[in-house]
């Protein structure tokens, strides 16, 4: 085979084996890492020690994208539906038809139960810790609590600064990337919260937090229609919500981990 063709083919296979992280990141890497960084700031010393030990010198920001990195590996197909939950607007999760392979709620609950199980192997604990960090992040992207018919906005085609996109990607990645700050800069510029404000964010269960996202998702669906041209105006209106969700995600992730390792 001529060198250029075989080189081209190998390049194609190498690139396509990374297809998901390059093509369609969830909350974008920056969003997930920001949540990991904020969570690290809110960990108790005990939880911090336990996590440092399990993650072998990596931090929560570093492992926060793990859930997406395994997505293009067939061995991990069973986790694909764990990143989101869809149910009809106006209905309750509890009454809705459940995804057979599990959803973000059952996924987080499973991870938590493994982390609380003293007999779970170290490898299992590490895997489920990394996955939990990712899933609590996803839970705070409103369109991860979306409608099945448009796959959480993935099928709502819009443009973003004149380039083809979809509503889901605008919320996962593009508003954050357009702001052009690193995850550490985002974390450092979140602004101060009072103890009472933090306590109020921490309150509630996984289901309550899922319903928070559902309420926002309804507003996100109302904020754009197919073929809309989105850009600066959209960021002016919604970047604040994105930042608030990243902060809630970080504080709540820390709360869950502090409880597990208390
Ligand atoms: N695929 C199907 N529904 C989805 C959602 N709500 N979020 C992300 N990916 C999805
Ligand atoms: Zn997503
Ligand atoms: Zn995800």
pLDDT tier at 123, thresholds 50, 70, 90: very high
Pocket of ligand 1 (CB under 6 A): 83-84, 86, 143-144, 146, 151-152, 154
Return the structure tokens found at 7.
Answer: 């080189």
Beta bridge mates, 166:
157
Atom 1, ligand 1: residue with shortest CA distance:
151
**Tens-digit pLDDT profile for residues 61-105:** 999 999 999 999 999 999 999 999 999 999 999 999 999 999 999
Report which bound ligand comes closest to the CA of 174: 2
Considering its fold, how many domains does the chain have in total? 1
Give domain status of residue 39, yes or no. Answer: yes
Nearest ligand 1 atom, CA 85:
6
Question: Are 146 and 83 spatial neighbours (Cβ–Cβ below 8 Å)?
Answer: no
Q: Which of 63, 51, 99, 57 is nearest to 78 (CA)?
A: 99
- Euclidean distance between CA atoms 125 and 113, whole angstroms: 10
Q: If you measure from the C-alpha of residue 135 to the centroid of ligand 3, how many angstroms do you get, rounded to a whole number?
A: 6
Q: Is residue 3 part of a domain?
A: no
In a domain, 60, yes or no: yes
CATH of the domain at 146: 1.10.575.10
Q: Please state at what angle helix 104-116 crosses helix 122-139, rounded to 10 degrees.
A: 150
Ligand whose nearest atom lies closest to the CA of 86: 1
Q: Ligand 1 centroid vs 152 CA: distance in angstroms?
A: 5
Q: Which atom of ligand 1 is nearest to the CA of 141?
A: 7
Domain assignment present for residue 188? The answer is yes
Query: What's the gap in Å between 126 CA and the centre of ligand 2?
Result: 23
Q: What is the pTM of this model?
A: 0.91
Range of the domain at 91: 22-260
Q: Does any domain span residue 2?
A: no
26 band by pLDDT with thresholds 50, 70 and 90: low
């Amino acid at each position: 085979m001529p060198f250029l063709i075989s080189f081209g083919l190998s390049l194609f296979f190498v690139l396509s084996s990374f297809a998901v992280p390059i093509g369609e990141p969830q909350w974008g890497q920056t969003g997930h890492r920001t949540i990991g960084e904020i969570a690290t700031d809110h960990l108790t010393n005990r939880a911090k020690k336990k996590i440092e030990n399990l993650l072998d010198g990596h931090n929560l920001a570093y492992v926060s994208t793990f859930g997406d990195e395994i997505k293009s590996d067939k061995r991990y197909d069973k986790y694909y539906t764990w990143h989101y939950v869809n149910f009809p607007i106006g209905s309750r999760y509890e009454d809705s038809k459940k995804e057979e392979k599990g959803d973000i709620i059952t996924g987080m609950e499973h991870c938590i139960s493994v982390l609380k199980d003293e007999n779970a192997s170290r490898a299992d604990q590490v895997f489920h810790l990394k996955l939990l960090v990712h899933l609590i992040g996803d839970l705070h992207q409103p369109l991860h609590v979306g409608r099945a018919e448009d796959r959480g906005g993935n099928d709502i085609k819009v443009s973003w600064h004149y380039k083809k996109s979809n509503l889901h990607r605008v919320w996962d990645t593009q508003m954050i990337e357009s702001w052009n700050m690193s995850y550490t800069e985002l974390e450092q510029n979140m602004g101060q919260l009072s103890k009472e404000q933090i306590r109020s964010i921490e309150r509630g269960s996984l289901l309550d937090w899922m319903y928070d996202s559902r309420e926002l998702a309804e507003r996100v669906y109302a904020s754009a229609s197919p073929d809309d041209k989105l850009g600066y105006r959209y960021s002016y209106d919604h970047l604040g919500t994105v930042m608030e969700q990243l902060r809630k995600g970080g504080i709540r992730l820390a709360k869950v981990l502090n409880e597990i390792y208390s």
